[in-house]
Homo-oligomer: A and B are copies of this chain.
């Protein structure tokens, strides 16, 4: 007997072997998909009716700093140095594990509501993020953000934090949590530190998550310091392998792209963040052409400013069309692949497709909405017309986290209150109290 049977939906399997089904059924047992097809023969404990909806793999967001959700809209439209030095860093310094826990819970709530089932994260106090992920039922690949700025003592303590995190949380939450090593970036970490992390990751058989060439400033710094760019430096020290997830990858030369393709590095593309911070435009069509596995991500909320992967999908398509002045350069199906199949591949999890044996990580998107009417082409609507708020039901690991728009795995209002209180600790002066927390008559 299956635990859950989803019926009457348009099944966007994203599995090239089976194709999509105009009207099909998906059965789930013990957290895994046990049937995808026209009609399931067995019984099920619970039936989900997906009439008029698309059933698709949950979206995979491969680069986030979930704790930064507390800094959503805290400082925008400012020059990068002023933004970091006068706003982000001073506030980050005030964030402790409890604030990060509240921030990541808020991020998870937002991601669940907009159809993301798995995310990759890199930030401070990451054990609090792990606790939040464990509590809410999502899947995540978490990394402790490590940085040494060339200081050997800081390198040692950073690596220790990273190693402890890996030890404590690898396979946690019944396997929903995987871990990665998270050296911040080639220009903020010394070469020695990067080598040490690389070696440790191989020893522990753990993947690596790193920022690469997000800004032209990084490119220039690297050239000055090493006489070569980040990609060449990392390649030369043997850092690159198919277990590396490199976020951003904007300032790439043709040769850099060849290195990424040859070494099997996965690239996480953050179009909304890259536009908002005026970092540049990653050469995604060329990377895909060369066979690099490119996935999609929101980046943290301080530079997006939300975690809606539907927005990221649309922006990814639009940006590369106009940047190449060729509207055929990327199509809706390719973008859907990046947000599902490619993301799961980058993180090494059996998800991103609706396929027998894969995790029961699925979402239901309601198509009976004015802005999704009429419906000629499901791929097109999901990428160009839908919003995160069209997601009605979310399953992770075969558990229903949201059903018909109701979040079941946490109390929405409580999460917003706790996040607002945590934000208050970092900068109460600028907060606007929409929840009525300062009103003595309000329920606290």
Point out residues on A near B: beta carbons under 8 Å: 10, 22, 51-53, 70, 72-74, 76-80, 106, 109-110, 113-114, 272, 274-281, 304-308, 311, 314-315, 317-319, 321-322, 324-332, 367-378, 380-381, 384-385, 387-389, 412, 415-416, 419-420, 423-424, 427, 430-432, 434-436
Contacts and interface: CB of A to CB of B under 8 A. Distances in A.
A117 to B, nearest CB: 16
Nearest to A367: B434
Contact of A274 (B278, B322, B367): B322
B378 A432 contact: yes
Nearest to A322: B275
Contacts of A110: 370-371
A22 B275 contact: no
Contacts of A73: 374-377, 380-381, 384-385
Given A275-B318, A318-B275, A389-B387, A308 B377 contact: no
Contacts of A307: 371
Contacts of A377: 73-74, 76, 430, 432
Number of copies: 2
Nearest to A430: B376
Nearest to A439: B51
Given A322-B278, A388-B387, A434-B52, A374 B76 contact: no
A297 to B, nearest CB: 15
Contacts of A416: 368-370, 373
A52 B442 CA distance: 12
Given A328-B79, A431-B374, A385 B52 contact: no
A438 to B, nearest CB: 12
Nearest to A54: B434
Contact of A380 (B113, B305, B314): B305
B432 A22 contact: yes
Top 8 closest pairs, chain A to chain B, by CB: A275-B318, A374-B423, A77-B331, A73-B380, A278-B327, A275-B322, A305-B384, A389-B389
A435 B109 contact: no
Contacts of A327: 77-80, 276-278
